[in-house]
Structure 1
Amino acid sequence: MASLPDQRWHIHPPAPQAQAIAQAHHLSPIAAQLLINRGLTTTEDIQGFLNPQSLHLPAPNTAFVDLDIAVELLRQVITKGEKIAICGDYDADGMTSTALLLRALRAVGANVDYEIPSRMQEGYGINHRIVEDCHRRGVKVILTVDNGIAAPGPIALARQLGLIVIITDHHDLPPELPPAQAILNPKLLPTESPYGVLAGVGVAYILGISVVQAFGQMKDLVRPLLELCTLGTIADLASLTGVNRRWVQRGLVTIPQSTLVGVQALMTVAKCRPEDNAALKPTAVGFRLGPRINAIGRIGDPQVVIDLLTTEDLLQAEALAEVCEETNRRRQELTESITAEAVAQVEAAQLDLLVKRVLVLVKAGWHHGVIGIVASRLVERYGVPVFIATEEDETHLRGSARGIPEFDVFAALQYSGDLLEKFGGHRAAGGFSLEKVKLSAWRKRLTEFANQCLQPEHLKPLIAIDSEIRLDEITPDLWQQLQALQPCGLGNPEPLFCSRNVQVQEQRLFGANQTHLMLTLTQTHPQTGALISQKAKAWNWRSYYPLPAEIDVAYTLEENTWQGNTTLELRLVGVQSAASSLAKGKPKTANRTSLRGNPAANRPNLIVQCPEPPTYPRPAAWLELEDLLGLCKTLRGRVLLYGDQCPYISTQSTPAQIDYDRPRQACDTFLLWNLPPSLTHLRWLLAKGQPQQVYVRNQAPSLPTATELKMKLSIAVSQLDGNTVNLLAWGQTHWVAPSTIVAGLRELGHDCEGYRATLGLEQELNRLSRWYAYTPAELAQLS
């Protein structure tokens, strides 16, 4: 018998208000539970989620303060017939953004072309070569899409050469913004803005619509631009919440009858034509259209996709779509072969991942257009962060990284930054390059970092399950209610269920390489005793074949149409030994929360604790902090580096002894990347560390939305061992004040007796954003 996946299962506990929400909105209790799991508990939130078209959106130019400036600059240049160059990127977001703005600007008569950096030779984003080429060709405006915010050098060069620069991007903000004439980036907006979730293509869509509107050319343009926005948003895995949910829902309805011949051709080669004019599902874009677009960016020429999405010639579109299809086939083959080689490398090394807590894999000849996909697969398989690289030339390596929820990839790259030539990314993923001779030292540094932030219990893939249900509860009516949650994606995941004690009646391998698993599962109905049967598939599960005769399964639901018949089937994402077999002798693990019984009894009667700090001496100096890295090179003694997603400093870059997150003993200096989540947190920090001087950079953290925080708190409550909430610990985890935690818990239906009255959750989050605006002088008064 093959081994089973080594996974962590977290199952949301049944919410006591699910029945009331179900009745109020004419839903099943299962669908109501799904809404609660996503942090949606108020009538306003639920109605806005179920009907995103009813949401009131602020005018884009009131949200993006530079939008009117960008539109006016483009209007003047277009009117004069001067040249515009769009600087795009080679991923799906960058290519669809480029195509979108090409269509919009050409429709109003612009003299516009585009530049895409070479993935293999240049890497991501605008560079000096592109700027110099644009200047030589007489370009007046450089318009970046999906990049530019982290490129101060090339932008400064463009300004020196007399070019106008407009940046549209959605990536994290650097300490100093580039010197562009206009910057459109949702990261500049308040955290509660519905535009805050936009991908690069969403920002391009706003600019494109605004420009054609300024020229009075809206007719026949909104729909094709919206379709491109939808393709790019889903393919880029942008959060399908806020305005993204509204726009994507509209776009998925129109794409099946798209007027864009390129989209028609792409759907044909991808066999992605919905029947009866039904709306396309995000999974169809994510698993069929998106990969064919992304494959070009990974191992092909981005011009293929941009020409495909901008052509009006059906024959050309069909030929280009075939190129996408063939390129995607090659990408699949490369991914499969490199994954197999990587797994063989791991198994041959016999690594103790409880000791290493990170995988670093290197091999010459691996195509670095696909190693990011391979890294993601290895994370799923081994449950640890993965850094994978291949040769860039004889002396250098270049690679990609993917993380797990408890591991910050970008912080790890910063921690080892002195050994790297170049790196970038965010919490979940990143890219890097380094000299081969530094590989051994870099492996050790990453292991050192991983052991600082990961515990053994983190080293298993996490399966977050919405609800435990029986197979007989899987009905067409439930499926129809689940469709109200569409479009699903990041921020609104596909509903994930589990069923206990199911029997495996049949199982067989299928697919070209026999890599997938097809099953027939059965379960006995608890009242009637009837045998309920369900078909299931599990992709890339050959290593788990054959499964035991009785198991617990975690899955999503999907429709399968074959020869005109449509049925529901399970797509397995997790499997464990059956709960009944555990009861016969094996202890149940703490993460297998039972959902049966009285729901009210499963809700902890929460006791919230927030102890006041002891007295402490005031620091001698509160100072502004600008250049953290420069300061670290000069400091001596023990230093606390503190803050949400603060950078990690290499031990070779500073003579100081650095503590992170909390002081191990008395410190000479505090470096606050941003403020603690509350004044109480700050006082505790000062009492523990007793520093003489405190430097404050006050880089405001990325605060959660009310919906996101309630979702996280719901999970945290379900994992409580007992019923006591340490507000200081939870505040540090979610980077919000104790009062914000309590406001969220109260909106989830918990009393939190003994804690003072709080404002509503939205008001508490607004108050928190004001807290992060304090200056060092004001903090000195408070402390």
Structure 2
Amino acid sequence: MKLPNQRWDIASPNPKKIELLAKEMQVSNLIIKIILNRGVDTSDLARIYLNPNEEILPPPLAEFPDLYKSINLLIIAIEKKHKIAICGDYDADGMTSTSLLLRALKYFGGDVYYKIPNRIKDGYGINKQIVEDFSKNGVKLILTVDNGITAYEPIKRAAELGLNVIITDHHDIPKRLPPADAILNPKLLPNESPYSGLAGVGVAYVLALTLSQTLNKTEGIIASLLELFTLGTIADLAPLTGVNRRWLKQGLKQLPNSQLPGIQALIKVSGISDEQKQLKSDDIGFKLGPRINAVGRIGEPKTAIELLTTDNLEVALEKALECEEINKIRKSLCERIEKEAIDLIENIPLDYQEKRVLIVIQHKWHHGVIGIVASRLVERYGVPVFIGTYEEDDINKIRGSARGIPEFDVFHALQYCDDLLDKFGGHKAAGGFNLKQKNLSFFEKKLSEFAHQYLQLHHIKPLIKIDSAINFKDIDNNLYETLDSLQPWGIGNAIPIFWTPNIIILKQKVIGDNHLKILLAQNDGQQIEAVAWRFGSYYPLPKQLDIAYKLSKNFWNGKNNIQLEIVGIRIPSSMNKEFQSTFEFNGKQYICSIKGNKLKIKNLQGKTLSIDKGKREGLLENGYEKIKTIDVTHQPYYTIVKMALHSLNL
């Protein structure tokens, strides 16, 4: 029997604090437990969490030291009709940032155009060639969005050419800042600032919003800026705390009635139900965002930019359909590369547990989707993943993506290896890198060195963070609606995960693309339906399990029902007790035991045969020494196993 190899972290906040806060805030103990698990541990913080609009925000001009200078540079450029060039990025954050500033600056009368580097030819971020092309085209002011903080040489070149540069970025701060005229980056702010978690599109939103207020031109533009901010922030997996959470709650309510043709068209082609009064973060994270991201990964970013900046509904629908087709190709590429990567990992052991990091490099993988595959491998193996492929025009160069786990900082890991890398960037959870093939073995060794400083063997399992145990009888519309009011869910405000022990599986079947549809029951007879995405490889599940899950609503044929979305399963602790017995065969004594689904049979000479339930092969060991694999359907092992099971009353 195959089950996920997970580690469950079940939260246990102070019971007295739960009772005191629940009484003071007049909400249930369960809701207070969820709030405490998210680091909200005082009544003042709890009030702001429950009602984000009650927080008194400092004005952005008081928080960002270079914001005033940035506004002045933009106003001068607009008034003097100087050319303004936006250099964006090809992910959803970069493309929504670019679209947001294009809309805003054109609305304010700016002469503005944009450039997004080609993922394959140019790589990430602004470069010297882009700067020189801007200069030749008469640009006077460059705005970087979602990039630029590590681009020292390109920004230096811009200064040499007499160009002004405003960097808007949110990636980690390098040792040496570029010589820009102004830098807007939330990583330069104190951690306690409500603006510290902004994504690139959030910085662009602050800049555009402040500019509109300074120019007294807010009418007719603010709503569209908020919607683009909402789309980009959630798609980029930015932390949903501080101003992000406050603004997103408002933006998600606006989106279903968006006046932007591009967002209307995107909602239509993605199949989001017309019945939804407001969108949820999952609607963007799994439906709208991937269609934008796919364009930057394997298509032309201008498709997404045109989609989000057009005011023509027909053009918007045409571009949304293009995004849809590109996303289908992206999904197919991801599935193929993920399968190839898994085959590589499991058929050619890469010993990632010993190294504490998984490094997978292969020819002819698409640069644009390997980051998505890295995330899926992290979900599967629970280990930091560095995945790469060789450049199409130079097999001596590797381009890669990295994804981390909570205890591992990807950006610091790449910094640790910077002497081996041609280029790198990112943040704690994710990053990108380039290196020469000749440095690969040294890179692997150094990454493992770094990982051993922070990771123990028990960390190398997918982590399920659980808020509380609940019973099926507690799950109703009232609980669902209360939880829903705490939206949006995401990084920093994770969707609540619950668990219920000793459930019984009444029905199960594989559906769609490797998913499970399950009917569950507790011992008291309470039943509920569940779905387990990407759990098809564990079919059939044992009849009795502990399950970890989140709550969702299933919209179908005009009806909506609460269902469980299973994220974790394990054998109940009651089934992990070890049972022992003895028996005799051909005049020899044997000791047999069973724990969970593993049967062990030991003779008096110290040799042990271990067999997993349902398997035809067992492992013969002498102490810790593996001797050989045994086919237990052959004699005499078949009879020995049968007698052991009989001895254990199984």
2:472 maps to 471
Q: Is the 8 A contact 1:97 1:200 kept in 2?
A: yes
Partners in 1 of 2:295 and 2:418 — Cα distance? 30
1:163 maps to 163
1:510 maps to 511
Question: 1:434 and 1:183, CA in 2 relative to 1: closer, same or farther beyond 3 A?
Answer: closer
Partners in 2 of 1:208 and 1:6 — Cα distance? 47
Name the aligned partner's letter for residue 327 of structure 1. I
2:226 maps to 226
Map 1:45-60 → 2, pairs under 5 A: 45-60=45-60
Name the aligned partner's letter for residue 342 of structure 2. V
2:489 maps to 488
1:11 maps to 10
2:322 maps to 323
The more displaced of 205-214 and 549-558 is 205-214
Question: 1:423 and 1:182, CA in 2 relative to 1: closer, same or farther beyond 3 A?
Answer: closer
2:378 maps to 379
Give the deviation of 1:122 after TM superposition: 1.5
Q: CA offsets per residue over residues 357-397 of structure 1, 9 Å max, x none?
A: 22221211110111111111111111222111111023211
Give the deviation of 1:119 after TM superposition: 0.9
Name the aligned partner's letter for residue 189 of structure 1. L
Partners in 2 of 1:543 and 1:27 — Cα distance? 40
The more displaced of 184-193 and 354-363 is 354-363
Give the deviation of 1:504 after TM superposition: 0.8
Q: 1:165 aligns to what SS in structure 2? A: strand
Q: Is the 8 A contact 1:388 1:399 kept in 2?
A: yes
Give the deviation of 1:584 after TM superposition: 6.6
Name the aligned partner's letter for residue 268 of structure 2. T
Q: CA offsets per residue over residues 273-300 of structure 1, 9 Å max, x none?
A: 4416x11111111111011111111111
Q: Is the 8 A contact 2:387 2:402 kept in 1?
A: yes
Map 1:465-614 → 2, pairs under 5 A: 465-511=466-512, 513=513, 515-525=514-524, 531-583=525-577
Q: 2:186 matched to 1:192?
A: no
Q: Is the 8 A contact 1:363 1:391 kept in 2?
A: yes
Q: Is the 8 A contact 1:488 1:494 kept in 2?
A: yes
Give the deviation of 1:246 after TM superposition: 0.7
2:343 maps to 344
Q: Is the 8 A contact 2:171 2:426 kept in 1?
A: no
Q: 1:272 aligns to what SS in structure 2? A: coil
Name the aligned partner's letter for residue 293 of structure 2. N
Q: 2:135 aligns to what SS in structure 1? A: helix
Q: 1:507 aligns to what SS in structure 2? A: strand
2:149 maps to 149
Partners in 1 of 2:195 and 2:351 — Cα distance? 44
Partners in 1 of 2:199 and 2:126 — Cα distance? 18
Partners in 2 of 1:129 and 1:457 — Cα distance? 47
1:719 maps to none
Partners in 1 of 2:42 and 2:442 — Cα distance? 52
Partners in 2 of 1:300 and 1:567 — Cα distance? 37
Map 1:698-713 → 2, pairs under 5 A: none
Map 1:12-27 → 2, pairs under 5 A: 12-16=11-15, 17-27=17-27
Partners in 2 of 1:90 and 1:471 — Cα distance? 44
Partners in 1 of 2:337 and 2:200 — Cα distance? 30
Gaps of 5+ in 2: 580-593, 597-650
User: What TM-score results when the alignment is normalised by the length of structure 1?
Assistant: 0.72
Name the aligned partner's letter for residue 73 of structure 1. L
Name the aligned partner's letter for residue 485 of structure 2. A
Q: CA offsets per residue over residues 76-135 of structure 1, 9 Å max, x none?
A: 111111110011111111110110011111011110001111111111111101100110
Q: 1:406 aligns to what SS in structure 2? A: coil
Name the aligned partner's letter for residue 345 of structure 2. V
Q: CA offsets per residue over residues 631-680 of structure 1, 9 Å max, x none?
A: xxxxxxxxxxxxxxxxxxxxxxxxxxxxxxxxxxxxxxxxxxxxxxxxxx
Q: 1:524 aligns to what SS in structure 2? A: coil
2:110 maps to 110
Q: 1:206 aligns to what SS in structure 2? A: helix
Name the aligned partner's letter for residue 323 of structure 2. C
2:267 maps to 267
Question: 1:165 and 1:43, CA in 2 relative to 1: closer, same or farther beyond 3 A?
Answer: same
Partners in 1 of 2:86 and 2:179 — Cα distance? 17
Q: Is the 8 A contact 2:172 2:426 kept in 1?
A: no
Name the aligned partner's letter for residue 472 of structure 1. K
Question: 1:83 and 1:352, CA in 2 relative to 1: closer, same or farther beyond 3 A?
Answer: closer
Q: CA offsets per residue over residues 38-97 of structure 1, 9 Å max, x none?
A: 122322111111111111111111111221211111111111111100111111111101
Q: Is the 8 A contact 1:502 1:552 kept in 2?
A: yes
Q: Is the 8 A contact 1:388 1:401 kept in 2?
A: yes
Q: 1:194 aligns to what SS in structure 2? A: coil
Give the deviation of 1:14 after TM superposition: 4.8
Question: 1:416 and 1:196, CA in 2 relative to 1: closer, same or farther beyond 3 A?
Answer: closer
Q: Is the 8 A contact 1:105 1:211 kept in 2?
A: no
Partners in 2 of 1:170 and 1:427 — Cα distance? 12
User: What TM-score results when the alignment is normalised by the length of structure 2?
Assistant: 0.87
Q: 1:396 aligns to what SS in structure 2? A: strand
Map 1:763-778 → 2, pairs under 5 A: none
Question: 1:563 and 1:111, CA in 2 relative to 1: closer, same or farther beyond 3 A?
Answer: same
Q: 2:251 matched to 1:257?
A: no
Alpha-carbon RMSD: 1.6
Partners in 1 of 2:289 and 2:213 — Cα distance? 29
Partners in 2 of 1:73 and 1:415 — Cα distance? 37
Name the aligned partner's letter for residue 247 of structure 1. W
Partners in 2 of 1:414 and 1:181 — Cα distance? 26
Q: 2:20 aligns to what SS in structure 1? A: helix
Name the aligned partner's letter for residue 137 of structure 1. N
Give the deviation of 1:409 after TM superposition: 2.4
Q: Is the 8 A contact 2:424 2:431 kept in 1?
A: yes
1:182 maps to 182
Map 1:681-760 → 2, pairs under 5 A: none
Partners in 2 of 1:362 and 1:372 — Cα distance? 12
1:334 maps to 333
Map 1:18-417 → 2, pairs under 5 A: 18-275=18-275, 278-392=277-391, 393-417=394-418
Q: CA offsets per residue over residues 674-729 of structure 1, 9 Å max, x none?
A: xxxxxxxxxxxxxxxxxxxxxxxxxxxxxxxxxxxxxxxxxxxxxxxxxxxxxxxx
Name the aligned partner's letter for residue 403 of structure 2. R
Q: Greater share of strand residues, 1 or 2? A: 2
Q: Is the 8 A contact 1:15 1:36 kept in 2?
A: no
Q: Is the 8 A contact 1:168 1:200 kept in 2?
A: yes
Question: 1:387 and 1:303, CA in 2 relative to 1: closer, same or farther beyond 3 A?
Answer: same
Question: 1:169 and 1:416, CA in 2 relative to 1: closer, same or farther beyond 3 A?
Answer: closer
Q: Is the 8 A contact 1:555 1:572 kept in 2?
A: yes
Give the deviation of 1:540 after TM superposition: 1.1
Partners in 1 of 2:448 and 2:318 — Cα distance? 48
Name the aligned partner's letter for residue 281 of structure 1. K
